[in-house]
A = this chain, B = another copy of it.
Amino acid sequence: MRIHVQNPANDPHFAVTEAQWRDAVSRSPDMAGLQVSFASDEEGLTRALPEAEVLLSWVRPLRQRFPVGALPAAAPRLRIIACTSAGVDSAAPFDWLPESIALLNNSGTHADKAGEFGIMAILMLNTGMPAFADAQRRGEWKPIFASTLAGRRVVIVGMGSLGGGVARQARAFGMQVIGVRNGPEPHPDCDETHTTGALDSVLPRAEFLVLACPLTDQTRNLLSRERIALLPRGAGIVNIARGAVWDQDAVCDALEAGHLGGCVTDVAVPEPLPTESRLWRTPGMVVTPHVSADDRARYNDRTLDILFENIRALRESRPLPNRVDPAKGY
């Protein structure tokens, strides 16, 4: 089986190396027969596509690279496109993707790192760090005393790899965890789970709200101005989903009005966030530059392990665990 790894052209941090490939194969000896090629330029991709059965690629170039209808002729043997990111929203709509090709996300790579980022953000909100950061800018010593997290309530929207990672950590700190997801099935790290349709009834109970869902047509502007108003006064929000999942301006307004206690966001509209954006300067808003889920030391190792799991499933004619449903968008 022929696999082509198309690395990003200008991002040495996350390029999959031949050494990482060899290590991954040594962890999965059943993958020893795979024939692999690597490239980070256009010519390398063009050269590999006619023979490739599996393409591992950065998600962003996919839609531009493959206009609607072009893929079958360009890559006649392709059966899997595996994306290195968990969110595949930048490749939507999926009209360019033939039904015969399975699109895989990289869900599972990010759980541990996202869980640590999520609990850090919740601890920061609980401790009052956004207010202390504002006070530090003014040189003002102004204690606010906080309790511990045990028994406090967090609502997590999106119970995939990211949300699940946060739920596991929140549980370890003794929090009461309420998960919100599309399906009604319970989650082992949630005390309660509710469907997205019940969101309005859950928000008034959220001391902390974590957004960790994929960006789809259904989740765009999910945390609207109206829904922000449903949160109790003083609530804290963590956004590790996408900037378009909340109404960014309404969040800033709610912080300025004192309705929200603080926010930690790792995502923004647009990214990179321009210097003049009000997000940087809104009191109570902590901004990080889309780093919450990417563990540089372990990212590629996990990416390859997940890819191999899916190839194994393909060989054994099982459903591919990371297959994206183009209709759902995740």
Whole-angstrom distance between the alpha carbons of A277 and B132 in the complex? 16
Whole-angstrom distance between the alpha carbons of A106 and B147 in the complex? 17
- A149 on the B face (CB < 8 A): yes
Q: Which residue of B lies closest to A273 (CB)?
A: B141
Select which of B148, B275, B295 is within 8 A of A138 by beta carbon. Answer: B275
Contacts of A146 in B (CB 8 A): 291, 295-296
Interface of A is mostly: loop
A147 to chain B, nearest CB (A): 4
User: Is A119 a contact of B123 with CB atoms below 8 Å?
Assistant: yes
Whole-angstrom distance between the alpha carbons of A112 and B123 in the complex? 13
User: Is A289 a contact of B142 with CB atoms below 8 Å?
Assistant: yes
A13 to chain B, nearest CB (A): 6
Stretch at the interface among A51-59, A94-102, A247-255, A280-288: A280-288
Whole-angstrom distance between the alpha carbons of A138 and B276 in the complex? 10
- Number of this chain's copies in the assembly equals 2
Contacts of A276 in B (CB 8 A): 139
A71-117 contacts to B (CB < 8 Å): 112-113, 116-117
User: Is B112 a contact of A120 with CB atoms below 8 Å?
Assistant: no
Select which of B13, B133, B144, B148 is within 8 A of A113 by beta carbon. Answer: B148
Which of the listed residues A117, A120, A149 has the most CB atoms from chain B within 10 Å of its own CB?
A: A120
- A294 on the B face (CB < 8 A): yes
- A68 on the B face (CB < 8 A): no
- A170 on the B face (CB < 8 A): no
User: Is B116 a contact of A149 with CB atoms below 8 Å?
Assistant: yes
User: Is A141 a contact of B272 with CB atoms below 8 Å?
Assistant: yes
Whole-angstrom distance between the alpha carbons of A277 and B140 in the complex? 10
User: Is A145 a contact of B295 with CB atoms below 8 Å?
Assistant: yes
Select which of B135, B147, B271, B295 is within 8 A of A147 by beta carbon. Answer: B295
A266 to chain B, nearest CB (A): 10
Q: Which residue of B lies closest to A276 (CB)?
A: B139
Contacts of A296 in B (CB 8 A): 145-147
A283 to chain B, nearest CB (A): 12
Whole-angstrom distance between the alpha carbons of A275 and B138 in the complex? 7
User: Is A287 a contact of B132 with CB atoms below 8 Å?
Assistant: yes
Answer whether A271 and B120 are a contact pair too, CB < 8 Å, given A295-B146, A297-B147: no
> 9 other contacts beyond A139-B281, A141-B273, with CB at 8 A cut-off?
A116-B126, A119-B123, A136-B287, A139-B276, A141-B268, A141-B289, A142-B289, A147-B297, A148-B295
Q: Which 6 residue pairs across A and B have the least CB separation, nearest first?
A: A139-B275, A141-B272, A120-B123, A147-B297, A145-B296, A143-B289
